Amino acid sequence: MIKRINHIGVAVKSLGLSSDLFAKIFEQPHPHTENVPQQNATIAFFPVGESSIELIESATQDSSISKFIDKRGEGIHHICLEVDDIKKEIERLKKHGFQFVNDHPDEGGDGYLVAFLHPKSTNGVLIELAEKMK
Ligand code: ZN
């Protein structure tokens, strides 16, 4: 079951400069940053009501975030849907013909297991599924 929009991911060149910007928009202090080695990225979350904005900076030149920024510039990268059972949702969506970037969930940021639906099968929208780890 899909529970809510957990966050919207934004690809940025500089987490420091972007955190300055979003701290002003949301009138919040800078959030703590977290390294996500599985995605070669450093991330920071700004909570906004029930959801949050995730800023994502690439940690390496050849990561998917680097490639995204090279191709499309900074901006909205993905929408994250929180689910109660990620393996069940992956199976359900595969039955409908959706393709996954990774159909074995990886450890994402903030204590979640995550899997990404390939944008080729979702009208160009990269969708992240996330289940809170117990
Ligand atoms: Zn995300």
Residue 59: CA count within 13 A, CB half-sphere? 11
Closest CA to 56 of 48, 120, 69: 69
* Residue-level length of the chain: 134
pLDDT for the residue 110 = 84
Cα-to-centroid distance, 97 and ligand 1 (Å) = 23
Cα-to-centroid distance, 6 and ligand 1 (Å) = 8
Cα-to-centroid distance, 77 and ligand 1 (Å) = 8
Region class of 58: left (phi > 0), else alpha (psi between -120 and 50), else beta: beta
Rounded average pLDDT per 10-residue block, the chain, 134 residues: 97 96 94 89 94 95 93 97 97 97 89 95 96 93
pLDDT for the residue 42 = 96
- Name the token pair of 59: 């940690």
Cα-to-centroid distance, 96 and ligand 1 (Å) = 23
> All domains of the chain, ordered by start, with CATH?
2-132 (3.10.180.10)
pLDDT for the residue 49 = 93
Cα-to-centroid distance, 26 and ligand 1 (Å) = 19
For strands 75-83 and 127-132, give the pairing: parallel
- Name the token pair of 41: 């990225």
Rounded CA separation 27/24 (Å): 5
Q: What pTM was estimated for this model as a whole?
A: 0.93
